[in-house]
Structure 1
Amino acid sequence: MNAVTEGVDEVPSLDNPYSPMAVAQVTEFYTSDSEYPTIATDAVRKALAHLSACLSTGSVSSRDGKGTALAVIGDYGTGKSHLALRLVQEAGVLLGDHHQAMYLEATASTFVDLYRRFAQRLDRDFVRTRVSDFYIDVVTSSLQDTGLSGTVLEWLQNRELNPQQVVERLGLMESSLLRRVHEDLAKVTRDEAFGTALTLLLRSGFEDAVWDWFSGAAPAEVLRERGIVAAIDTEATALAAMGVFALLFGSHHGRFVLVLDEMDKIFTARRREDQNVQAAFQNLLEIFSRAGACLVLVGLPDFLRVLHARVRERIPHTVELHPLEADEVRQFIELAQNGRLAPFTAQSPRSVRDLSGGKARDVIRLLRAAYALWADAARMSGVRTAPVSETMIRDAAHHQFGSRPGDDVEATVIGVLKAHGWQFRLRHRLGPPGSDPVDFWVTFPGRAGGCAILVTRSILDDGDVKTLNRKLADLDDLDDPVEALVVINGVLNDAVADRVRTALTGELLRSGDPTFPHRLSTLLEIVNDRLEALTGDSSSALEIRFTQLSRQQANLHGLLEQLSEQLDDAAAASTRGFATVLQDLTALGQTGPDAAPRLPDHVGEIFTDATGTLEALLQLDPILTGAFGATGRQSIDDFRALTRAGEFFPAAGTALVLRRIIDGFRSAIETWYGRVETDPPASPDRASAESRAQLDRLCRAYDEVCNQVPAFRLGPLTSVAVRGRAAGSRESSLNYVQDVVENLSPRVRRAVLRSSAPHA
């Protein structure tokens, strides 16, 4: 879409068209949601083509076609879940029945838990209808054998009569017919127990017992008497059960599409050596192929690497999601804004792509932040015809992606220099009058020359590279040896990154990197050693070291006093500010009783996972418990290692604020349940509309509040290793934590809607 749609207002709206939390969120899995438009990227086209090809071939009944498996992989925030939901929507349209397309988040720890969620999503009427198809076939065959056909057959095949009615009215032998149904079901499912259970759905009084068994409960006595003696409680039986339903739904020219999202969470590295799980999963893939069904596996690239080679061979198609290109960003803008590019300019999509790296989630976050800056400016000036400026986009990127205000970066560098006792000057001019000053000039006693630290904003294009090269060239012209460290306080565009590194003889640092203070300290030590080698002067090394230690000690006392004051101020501000925010958030749900009900298990687990992730990141509880217990010395050492990390306290404060926000969101959802359960509506339709609207307001409130928290500041907590967790582990990665926090609202919303379907 390149042209502005006809009829669009000439002046852009002040209402932000971009979602506050850029994640996939669909109310019904078989309907489209215009709030989350889909860009037709190569990956999307390929995935839809594979799905269409699978659903256009023959079914398991005709044996003239096979099902398929499709892996959709990509990094965090690349749009995997959005594409997963899009595939389910498309399958519902192609099949004409949304019951034959299912979306599941594989956030469970085992396939047993995953199967139980699968069973909860099964529709009893739909399953009974599929089983009834087999009964219709058997009754039809019996009628034809006895010569009784004509109108009765027509009524039966058109479902104007069900097979039980025909059997009763015509006095046919039910037990013989059901025995034939059982034989047919057992042949299709290749499972005697399931053949028996499914057949029992056709008999009165057995449905609850059968359904409890399907849901994972131990078989009731009435089932044991009929040979069903084991529960579906192992990984192998759980995967086999999912395969049975795929075969059932694929019968009678049917089709079944199952999309399993977040497979990386269930297929962790430890699963690689579990031969039973690997074999059972391979069997599931083979069953889906035989059933003419489509199994879509969505997750990080890691989950495919965990699979054995023979298992991967059963997944014939892989679609990898890549960053968006500038023209795709433009398409997204125009889709989100009803065909309009304004107030963005023709250059904006390229800038947004470069600053965000093209990651879909970051593109949406940046567009929303830039649009908000434009709307604020428009409200103040009263002019809505001015475009979103490049400065607005860059400022929005600095807020969203970890670059910090200039004063913040300056304070961090000063803190490192003082802590190590280095001598320095701010904004010092080394060259002739008129030359640009360096941001920091660091000198070392007894050394000629020094280290120039240059702080620059985002480097996006050739112009930015030339500006930096000119500054570096001025330093090369000086007589004394000068080492240069460049700190990028923003984004480095991949397209020009190589040219930046080629021009730089020193080191390149990123201010948003959680290891920035530590790297800066290490590099300054290296510069000191280099200058010593250049000057050949090592006679005063001991004197220099004593001077540094003395200066470090004096600075340390000052830093501790300053830190204490900052923590007191931050605690007071946080208590005042977030008390108000959380009060507002909770108030949205407080229209029911004072005592909030307990959340359904599968909803509560989502909140527990989110808070547990933040607690694990902080690691404070086990360390502090040990510090005052039997392992005191080791725990104190762990605490020292943890707090020694640069910017630990701001990072810890961010984690605690996020924890408070999640707790407030949970409280609001609990109160929402109280209202739905105790406030009978005037009509079911009104209950659905009002409850969903209230739930949507709660989710939007969480998204808006959470979006204001600079989650990138959690970085220092993800780079420290203490006992029980290695730095850089998947569970502690910044991307993983951000994904848990940012996806909380849609996960809760989907789980709540499933658990309260009669009310919402």
Structure 2
Amino acid sequence: MDRFESVRMTGEVNPYPSSAVAQLAEFGSTSVTIQTPAIREAVAAVEQYLSRGDHEDEGQPPPGQVIAVVGDFGTGKTHLVTHLMRYATRRRGSSVQSLYLNAPPDTFVSLYKTFIDKLQQRREIVLTRVRQYYADIVAETLSRSEATAGLARQLSAGEIDPVQVVREFGLMESVFLQQLQERLRGVTDNATFSQALTLLLRVGFEDAVWEWFSGRPPADILRERGIAGSIVDSETTALEAMGVFALLIGHRRHRFVLVIDELDQLLTAAGRREGEAIEAFKQLLAVFAASGAFLVLAGLPDLLNVLRRDVRERIGTQIRMSRLTAGDARDYILARQNGRLAPFTDETIRYLVEVVNGSPRGIISLCYHLYRRAREQRGQVTHAMVRQVARDVYDAGNAQDAHADIRQVLVAEGREYWTAHLLGDTRETEVDYWLPVGGPDRGCAVLLTESLLYDADVETIRDRALAIRALRECELLLVVVGRLPDKYLRELTTAVGREPLSYTRRSFADQFSVEVKAMVDRLAELPGDDLLDTLRQRLERFGRQQSNTQNLLGRLAGHLDSLRSASDQQLAAIHHELHVLRRTLPATSGQGGATAPTVPPLPDAVSALFDQALASVDVLTPVAAVLHNAFDPDDDDVGTDARMTVRARLPRDDVQQAAGVATLLTTLVETFGDAVSEWYRSVVAEQPPQLRPHDRDQLDALCQLFDAACEHLPVYRLESLQDFVDATGRTGSDDLPSARPPQDPQEVLGGLSSRVRNTILTPFATAG
């Protein structure tokens, strides 16, 4: 029974999101927020910020606030910070402006570019604040006369435009603008910034000023007025510009909330000296503390660990994400199901939380699949069902990915290894990987296992680990590809000799490399190694590394040829489809020049949905830009690191699979759009347009076909291409498109068909 049959039979739609990745939905969000200690602490901090008194009359803005939200992947950091943004908007309405930034793995200059790109979408806010400063200056002058006191009050209240008042009453505009520039010096000590902000009020300067704000060199009309150099020439200038905008946006009784997510990526970006990054970050905190803004920093736990004490002390509140309890999960399920608990029970909820170790992302993901499976089977969620679904979700395909990552690390480091190696006479002593160190009888062993959800499975792995360690002088590492409940962690750590390593695609390769190095170093310190044998092994390892590098270069050239061939084939297919489509379009004129009826295109709202979907899966465009940038012989700013990253990551299977998925998804969305367009063409061909039951059935069939096809495509693999673009460093180019879509592809595609159907049918329902 497929998903559509299940929905028809039960009359219900799965209330859980198919993607457990938090989305940035500032308004109208359907997400559910459980009042965990972290949520309550964060809300209390933003409430304190929003409720502070107005100190504008004192000539200085109130101090800003900085909080840090840290936690591992999937613990709900992004959900928390977006909840804060929505909360602030609900509390203070339009008097609160908020921006969400995803920190790039680069410099603070790149962070500023992301900031100003978002701010340019709200140019009117900046212009309004500058006008308010200007209105205050003009009002002060007009309030000195009883004849213009009423006009001054209107200016202060923002009821009339100060620029228009100055011109209509013939006031000295140059004097007021000079006073405005001096007033803005209170916002920034940089005379260039105050000059540029003042020019926003002059006709013909706005676009040039915003180009300069965006990081481009100043235009001639700005140079003539003393504005030289670019904001992005240094991190110091870029950070100061962010503070200027923050202080400006928070003018009078307004508030400004800025979220910087995944900040750890920026602080630990490759190719940067740690001291430079920390000093720039310290300046960022100082700038926002002085600007009166509310700054939210989010990232992994290492975010705070890499900071010096003097920098950490500038962060007012530090919020650590905690795991969800069974009670939290129960509240979430009740909220999603409108107060109903079935098909879950209190017992299965407790077991579900135990299996995923309280991970919010794990709970949401399993709830989606468990709800669907329970409805298909017309029964309750059971412990066995939880175990089976957990294995399906976390084990499927991941074991193959884990083997690929392990081999890539070992090959890249030039390490000798044997696979499926028997250390004794029984299958119990077989290890997935054996790395000899100092001789064939000493080495590092790696065991891979899927989710450990049964006591019997844990006992089996424990007995194997003890047997292996008793048989050989070795270091042992257990890699768990799936779920490992915490209740088994201590037992396995004792048996293996070190804590098991859980497989996570994004960070596993680096963690595995560190673990292998630690195991090899520990064995090398033990007595008994022959010095010459050790030296021989190291020389052989260096030789393998050099050979591997040459092989990678050859494979890269072959893959580039394949990509070029695939692109040519795709372009030819597009030309063919356009030719076929052109032949099927009705003629614009008949015999004798009579014009045939024009068939209207899809409604703009429907076209926008397809544009949004295509944008969410368009990962190949930034990949192509990265490759073009890396191969540009005239661009020395790209740097060796970027080229080495392209060389190392492009041959990876996950990257190539992601490219195939991206192509399929793009084709699927385009084909679905063409089909809907043809359906719409046939419906509106009659005058007046009529929607018959048969037409509805056809549209439903198209939507169901799209959902069925989309459900079986691994959309999550697009992250590999996104990581590829991010890891390549965006170094040396200001024009590389972002690989991170504005919305998560799984979320967009998951509801695309229903949104298209509802939007395209709305006019017919209204007409009926």
With the shorter chain as reference, the TM-score category is 0.5 to 0.7
Pair 1:39-2:34 in alignment: yes
Aligned to 1:107: 104
Pair 1:493-2:479 in alignment: no
- Residue 376 of structure 1 deviates from its aligned partner by 2.6
- Classify the secondary structure of the residue corresponding to 1:187: coil
Pair 1:92-2:89 in alignment: yes
Q: CA separation of 1:240/1:488 partners in 2, compared to 1, >3 Å: closer, same or farther?
A: closer
Pair 1:282-2:279 in alignment: no
- Residue 494 of structure 1 deviates from its aligned partner by 0.8
Q: What do the CA deviations read for 1:42-98 (whole angstroms, capped 9, x no partner)?
A: 111111111111222235624473111111111111111111211211222233117
- Classify the secondary structure of the residue corresponding to 1:66: coil
Is 1:60–1:290's contact at 8 Å kept on the other side of the alignment?
Answer: no
- Match for 1:71: what amino acid? A
Q: CA separation of 1:307/1:271 partners in 2, compared to 1, >3 Å: closer, same or farther?
A: farther
Aligned to 1:324: 324
Pair 1:57-2:57 in alignment: no
Pair 1:120-2:113 in alignment: no
Q: CA separation of 1:336/1:204 partners in 2, compared to 1, >3 Å: closer, same or farther?
A: same
Q: Write the mapping of 1:195-214 to structure 2, written as runs, cut at 5 A.
A: 195-214=194-213
- Match for 2:659: what amino acid? R
Output the CA distance in 2 between the equivalents of 1:101 and 1:219.
28
- Residue 748 of structure 1 deviates from its aligned partner by 6.6
Pairs aligned (count)? 563
Output the CA distance in 2 between the equivalents of 1:404 and 1:673.
31
In structure 1, stretches of 5+ residues that fail to align are 1-8, 379-385, 410-415, 426-437, 442-453, 523-574, 593-598, 616-620, 622-634, 643-650, 683-695, 719-728, 733-740, 753-760
Aligned to 1:268: 268
- Residue 191 of structure 1 deviates from its aligned partner by 2.0
Q: What do the CA deviations read for 1:119-167 (whole angstroms, capped 9, x no partner)?
A: 2222121111101111111111101224433432233233332112222
- Match for 1:48: what amino acid? V
Output the CA distance in 2 between the equivalents of 1:417 and 1:255.
60
Q: CA separation of 1:666/1:351 partners in 2, compared to 1, >3 Å: closer, same or farther?
A: same
Aligned to 1:24: 22
Q: Write the mapping of 1:663-742 to structure 2, written as runs, cut at 5 A.
A: 663-665=663-665, 704-705=711-712, 707=714
Q: State which of 386, 391, 394 in structure 1 corresponds to 2:384.
A: 391
Output the CA distance in 2 between the equivalents of 1:131 and 1:164.
11
Q: What do the CA deviations read for 1:398-419 (whole angstroms, capped 9, x no partner)?
A: 112227899999xxxxxx9976
More divergent stretch after superposition (697-706 vs 169-178): 697-706
Is 1:68–1:316's contact at 8 Å kept on the other side of the alignment?
Answer: yes
Q: What do the CA deviations read for 1:578-612 (whole angstroms, capped 9, x no partner)?
A: x9xx99xx99xx999xxxxxx99x97998269969
- Classify the secondary structure of the residue corresponding to 1:19: coil
Q: Write the mapping of 1:178-577 to structure 2, written as runs, cut at 5 A.
A: 178-234=177-233, 235-268=235-268, 270=270, 273=273, 275-378=275-378, 386-402=379-395, 420=422, 424=426, 465=455, 491-499=483-491
- Classify the secondary structure of the residue corresponding to 2:226: coil
Q: What do the CA deviations read for 1:266-305 (whole angstroms, capped 9, x no partner)?
A: 2215577355554343233222212221111111222333
Is 1:182–1:199's contact at 8 Å kept on the other side of the alignment?
Answer: yes
Is 1:18–1:368's contact at 8 Å kept on the other side of the alignment?
Answer: yes
Q: What do the CA deviations read for 1:473-530 (whole angstroms, capped 9, x no partner)?
A: 9xx9xxxx99x9999886432124335666x699998997999xx99xx9xxxxxxxx
In structure 2, stretches of 5+ residues that fail to align are 1-6, 403-417, 432-446, 517-565, 582-600, 603-610, 632-643, 685-702, 730-737, 750-768
Q: Write the mapping of 1:619-630 to structure 2, written as runs, cut at 5 A.
A: none
Aligned to 1:171: 170
Output the CA distance in 2 between the equivalents of 1:78 and 1:213.
39
Q: What do the CA deviations read for 1:220-245 (whole angstroms, capped 9, x no partner)?
A: 12211211111112322111111000
Q: CA separation of 1:371/1:152 partners in 2, compared to 1, >3 Å: closer, same or farther?
A: same
Is 2:75–2:323's contact at 8 Å kept on the other side of the alignment?
Answer: yes
- Classify the secondary structure of the residue corresponding to 2:341: coil
- Match for 1:371: what amino acid? Y
Output the CA distance in 2 between the equivalents of 1:273 and 1:324.
37
Q: What do the CA deviations read for 1:678-702 (whole angstroms, capped 9, x no partner)?
A: x9xx9xxxxxxxxxxxxx9999899
- Match for 1:395: what amino acid? Q
Q: CA separation of 1:98/1:487 partners in 2, compared to 1, >3 Å: closer, same or farther?
A: same
- Classify the secondary structure of the residue corresponding to 1:145: coil
Output the CA distance in 2 between the equivalents of 1:614 and 1:197.
34
Q: CA separation of 1:74/1:471 partners in 2, compared to 1, >3 Å: closer, same or farther?
A: closer
Output the CA distance in 2 between the equivalents of 1:66 and 1:190.
18
Output the CA distance in 1 between the equivalents of 2:77 and 2:430.
44
- Residue 169 of structure 1 deviates from its aligned partner by 2.7
- Classify the secondary structure of the residue corresponding to 1:189: coil
Q: State which of 80, 83, 107 in structure 2 corresponds to 1:83.
A: 80
- Match for 2:17: what amino acid? S
- Classify the secondary structure of the residue corresponding to 1:297: strand
Is 1:66–1:289's contact at 8 Å kept on the other side of the alignment?
Answer: yes
Is 2:55–2:62's contact at 8 Å kept on the other side of the alignment?
Answer: yes
- Classify the secondary structure of the residue corresponding to 1:746: coil
- Match for 1:163: what amino acid? P
Output the CA distance in 1 between the equivalents of 2:748 and 2:343.
37
- Match for 1:337: what amino acid? Q
- Classify the secondary structure of the residue corresponding to 1:71: strand
Q: TM-score, normalised by structure 1?
A: 0.61
Identity of aligned residues (%): 33
Q: CA separation of 1:158/1:674 partners in 2, compared to 1, >3 Å: closer, same or farther?
A: farther
Output the CA distance in 2 between the equivalents of 1:33 and 1:25.
9
Q: CA separation of 1:343/1:184 partners in 2, compared to 1, >3 Å: closer, same or farther?
A: same
- Match for 1:47: what amino acid? A
Q: TM-score, normalised by structure 2?
A: 0.60
Output the CA distance in 2 between the equivalents of 1:68 and 1:405.
42
- Classify the secondary structure of the residue corresponding to 2:187: helix
- Residue 666 of structure 1 deviates from its aligned partner by 5.1
Q: State which of 619, 623, 644 in structure 2 corresponds to 1:607.
A: 619
Output the CA distance in 1 between the equivalents of 2:368 and 2:313.
42
Aligned to 1:657: 657
More divergent stretch after superposition (657-666 vs 603-612): 603-612
Output the CA distance in 1 between the equivalents of 2:307 and 2:320.
17
- Match for 2:196: what amino acid? A
- Match for 1:398: what amino acid? R
Aligned to 1:746: 743
Is 1:661–1:702's contact at 8 Å kept on the other side of the alignment?
Answer: no
Aligned to 1:133: 132
- Classify the secondary structure of the residue corresponding to 1:343: coil
Output the CA distance in 1 between the equivalents of 2:479 and 2:10.
37
Q: CA separation of 1:486/1:255 partners in 2, compared to 1, >3 Å: closer, same or farther?
A: closer
Output the CA distance in 2 between the equivalents of 1:350 and 1:289.
43
- Residue 256 of structure 1 deviates from its aligned partner by 1.0
CA RMSD in angstroms comes to 5.7
- Classify the secondary structure of the residue corresponding to 1:657: helix
